[in-house]
Structure 1
Amino acid sequence: MVSGIVTALLLLAFVLGAFWLFVLRRASDFDRIARLPLEDHTPEDRP
């Protein structure tokens, strides 16, 4: 009985965390971060 309650609470915490991460955070932040590896940030003095 107790293990079922703990499992349900952990599942609820996971779902709420995923909701907060993917829905409440701005999508533009994720888009900006996703483009970082593709941007060229080489210094001007390097060939």
Structure 2
Amino acid sequence: MDISDLRSIATVAALVAFVGIWVWAWSGRHKKDFDEAARLPLDGDEE
């Protein structure tokens, strides 16, 4: 195993992690939480 194999493994692992996070973020189960978080800057400081 040389450095090229390690680089290939690291690239594949990074791609799998990216796709996993992307699928998690776009799943329907989290839509409500993300919509609430998106509204936070618009709510402002109401007293």
TM-score under structure 2 length normalisation? 0.59
Gaps of 5+ in 1: none
Q: Which has the higher helix share?
A: 2
Q: Say if 2:17 is the partner of 1:16.
A: no
* CA RMSD of superposed structures (Å): 2.0
Q: Shift of residue 27 of structure 1?
A: 0.7
Gaps of 5+ in 2: none
Cα distance per residue 1:4-44 (max 9 Å; x no partner): 1221111111111221122264211111111122225422x
User: What residue number does 1:27 align with?
Assistant: 31
Percent identical = 37
Letter in 2 for 1:20: W
Secondary structure, aligned partner of 2:35: helix
User: What residue number does 1:6 align with?
Assistant: 10
